[in-house]
A and B are shown apart, each in its own frame.
Chain A
Amino acid sequence: MSKPKVAFFDFSCCEGCQLQVANFGEALLDILGLIDVVMFREVMSEKSEVYDVAIVEGSITTTHDVERIKKIRATAKVLIAYGSCATIGGINGMKNNFDLEDIKQYVYKQDAKYFETIPTHPLHKIVKVDYFVHGCPVYQPEFVKVLKCALAGLSYVVPDYAVCVECRFNENVCMFDKGISCMGPVTRAGCNSWCINNGNICYGCRGMVSNPAKNGQMDILKKHNISLDWVENKMNMYNKPRELDIDEQKHKG
């Protein structure tokens, strides 16, 4: 059996998640034994119009993006949304806080008229996504897990519980005990509390759990004398496009 052809693509993003693959080190050799990488702008010059698995980084922010991702979807047997920009809109989603015209003016000044833009969309709002690898950047071991599932034809279920769960498994001292606020309680796990293990807080980059206790989390943050605006910003840093999902759910009733 020939190895599945894998192509990497990027939309609005920093390409940092693809760098995580380039930075794999020796483990990359094992992965390359399993797949045939036919296109990966960051590490090789070759290109290919034929591929089985598309690994797509970045969010959809122009009508041109919409056409392009639809074409990728039509070609690929399996599409993996890769990194927070692709899975939840991520940092790019902050754009959705503002009027699109104002944003264009702010960024491009007198040249704004040459650019068209649409609100930031995660991939699944435009095309069907088969696998999600959340994170900013992605957590390498989780990417390997997802890749194995994709190649073996198994489903991968993103944990729908808080980062705190894995953080307790790792027996970290809670950030709140250190007097520092943390988005762990409302952010979905799967990263093995990577940031907190290394002394940082959780920024909520993986997106919120499906049923976040927003009021409870607000109460907790308020108890620590954090202003409401700041809390709102903190919640929206990665998660603004979540509103698109919530609107859709409301529409469906």
Chain B
Amino acid sequence: MQQFVVLKKENFDAFISSLAQTQKVVAPVSRGYNNFSFQEVISGKEISLKYIPTILPPKKYFLPPRETLTAYNKRENALNAILEYEKMVIFGVHTCDLAGIQCLNMVFVDKPKDINYIIRKNKIAIIGLECNDYCDEYASCCVVENHLPNGGYDLFFTDLGDAFIVHINTMLGEELVSKAAVFKPADAKTLKSLESLRQMKRSIFKDEVNVKHENLKILFDSAFESKVWEDLNKRCVACGNCTNVCPTCYCFDIIDEPNLDLNTGVRYRNWDSCQNEPFAKVAGNENFRKERSQRQRHRYMRKFKYPVDKYSRYFCTGCGRCSRTCMAKIKLKETINDLAKETK
């Protein structure tokens, strides 16, 4: 079995179209103003192969912004589980977002297992797409070591000009390739081109902040009392954009809503955010994180400290979305450098 195969560019459209005939295919699509989003496509022509990270990460397919969990019937005293899932292929997932999905998998497969998430995840095929260069100045994928592929996909596409070289990583990936019947085995020359592309990437991608990968955690271990958070307090408007676009933020709220008959109803969950005012509010109107500085600090700690303690992994994927979307121009790279300056 070949680990690497080749897809000629002229066959790309045929590949996507044939996939879309048997299942839902989603891929990055241009939305104008240099914005992109994962959307359903039926042909390869709709796909933006060169894109900066989408408004929302592919997280939205694994953990939808709103998801019904149960339906209840008061009169019958019944509560029935509801599973919302759909078989689909996500095409064009960058390495940062592959890392994001890996993080979510760790969280939701860990106890208590999230059955809805696990069932949905198992219906989704993932096709990665390599970034040959930086997407823009907000990315910090190298310092968190996500600029090169590190698993988490069924197939992985690398653009080599007139063709893609494709890494087959799973049985499912192999099935997709053999069904499409447009892939050819990769010859030595193509493999060599892939190797030289990776070599070139090692010279392009450099640590984006003044802190080494292994020292990020140490930096955040002692960052709790930092003055840097006070500066963020003045600027942050608590719009929640940074967490809602984050590939590894997974907090949710659970809400019951009656139907019009007032007897039946549904329980659903929707994304919540530590940036929102009511997030840490408890009975008696006490708020554990009333200040926006505390909320921002919490967000950073949830990327660079707490998950490292629990899962031994940074939950920042380096995608840069939080900085890109922030209206107050709070930039992750700046915050890290400011923290580093302080400790010197």
Contacts and interface: CB of A to CB of B under 8 A. Distances in A.
A107 interface: no
B270 to A, nearest CB: 8
B151 interface: no
B328 A173 contact: no
Chain B, interface residues (CB within 8 Å), range: 35 or more
A123 B327 CA distance: 34
A34 B263 CA distance: 12
6 contacts: A148-B260, A162-B238, A171-B56, A174-B35, A177-B33, A220-B327
A160 B277 contact: yes
Interface stretch (B7-15, B79-87, B109-117, B239-247): B239-247
B167 interface: no
Given A148-B257, A148-B262, A169-B244, A217 B237 contact: yes
Residue from the set B32, B235, B237 with the largest chain A CB neighbour count within 10 Å: B237
A186 interface: yes
B260 A216 contact: no
Interface in B1-53: 31-35, 37
B198 interface: no
A223 B328 CA distance: 9
B325 interface: yes
Contact of A168 (B241, B257, B328): B241
Interface stretch (A66-74, A130-138, A207-215, A237-245): A207-215
A218 to B, nearest CB: 10
A90 interface: no
Contact of A220 (B34, B237, B259, B260): B237
A152 B260 CA distance: 10
B262 A185 contact: no
B61 to A, nearest CB: 12
A157 to B, nearest CB: 8
Q: A-B pairs with the 7 shortest C-beta distances?
A: A164-B239, A161-B276, A168-B244, A169-B65, A216-B237, A213-B237, A185-B239
Given A162-B239, A169-B66, A178 B33 contact: yes
Residue from the set A149, A160, A165, A217 with the largest chain B CB neighbour count within 10 Å: A165
Nearest to A144: B260
B328 A220 contact: yes
Nearest to A215: B234
Contacts of A33: 260
A196 to B, nearest CB: 13
B34 to A, nearest CB: 8
Given A168-B56, A173-B33, A151 B262 contact: yes
Interface of A: 30-31, 33-34, 144-145, 148-149, 151-152, 154, 159-162, 164-165, 168-169, 171-174, 176-178, 184-186, 209-213, 215-217, 219-220, 223
Contacts of A169: 65-66, 244, 270-271
B43 to A, nearest CB: 21
A179 B236 CA distance: 20
A174 B273 contact: no
A160 to B, nearest CB: 5
Interface string B238-280: 1111001100000000000111111000000011010111100
Contacts of A173: 31-33, 35, 55
Interface in B186-233: none
A168 B262 contact: no
B240 A162 contact: yes
Given A162-B276, A169-B65, 16 more contacts: A34-B261, A145-B257, A160-B276, A164-B240, A164-B241, A168-B240, A169-B244, A172-B55, A174-B35, A174-B241, A178-B33, A185-B237, A210-B277, A213-B292, A219-B328, A220-B327
Residue from the set A160, A171, A210, A219 with the largest chain B CB neighbour count within 10 Å: A171
B245 A168 contact: yes
A165 B244 contact: yes
B31 A216 contact: no
Contacts of B245: 168
B327 A174 contact: yes
Given A173-B35, A213-B292, A152 B258 contact: yes
A223 B329 CA distance: 10
Nearest to A33: B260
Given A169-B244, A219-B328, A161 B278 contact: yes
Residue from the set B60, B258, B271 with the largest chain A CB neighbour count within 10 Å: B258
